[in-house]
Amino acid sequence: MRYTNSRSDAEDVLQEAWIKVFRHLNSFSENNSFDGWLRRIVVNTAITHYRRNLKHAHHIDLDEVHATPRDLEAFKELEFTKEELERAIGQLPPGYGMVFKLYVIDGFKHKEIAEQLGIDLNTSKSQLSRARRFLQEVLAGMSKRAKEIES
C-alpha cells in the first residue's frame, strides 16, 4: 500500500511480485537473506508499476512552503500517531511520495532512487525536500485542528 494509490493497485503489485518470486526462486542464494531478496523484488515491482502508470498521473505543483523558525520550533513539540503520519504521507503527490518513501522509509540513497525512477539525482533531492515541506504543512494543520477541537 505504501507505493500505490489504491488497494487494488497494491494487490496487483503484490500478485506480480509473487509471480516473480516463484519464477526466479532458483536464483535465490541460500547465503543471502530471503527477507531482503523478497523485499527487493516487491519494491522493484512497485517501482515498475509506478513508472508504468506515471503517464496517467497528474503532477501537482505546490507553492513553496516557507516555515519560520517559530513554526519549526512548534513542530518539534508535536507528537503524532502512526495512523496520522501514514495519513499525511498518503496525501503526498505521487512523485514526492515515491521519493520520500524510498528515501526515508526504505533507506535508499538518492543515487539509487534516481536510477530506479529514471530521474536526475537533483530531482530526487528536490522531491524529498518538497515532500518534507508538504508534510510539515499537513501535520501542522492536523495539529492546529486537534488543538481547536480540544478548546
If pLDDT is split at 50, 70 and 90, which confidence band does 140 have?
confident
- Alpha-carbon gap, residue 133 to 71, rounded angstroms: 12
- Alpha-carbon gap, residue 30 to 10, rounded angstroms: 28
Checking if the pLDDT of 65 tops 60, the result is no
More confident position, 53 or 34: 34
Residue limits of CATH 1.10.1740.10 in the chain: 1-57
Task: Tell me the CB-side half-sphere exposure of residue 59, using CA atoms within 13 A.
Answer: 7
Q: What is the arithmetic mean of pLDDT over 54-79?
A: 49
Residues 6 or more apart whose Cβ sits within 8 Å of residue 7: 1
pTM score of the predicted model: 0.56
Residue limits of CATH 1.10.10.10 in the chain: 61-151
61-151 in CATH: which number?
1.10.10.10
- Alpha-carbon gap, residue 70 to 92, rounded angstroms: 24
Class at the top of the CATH hierarchy for domain 1-57? mainly alpha
Are the C-beta atoms of 93 and 62 separated by less than 8 Å?
A: yes
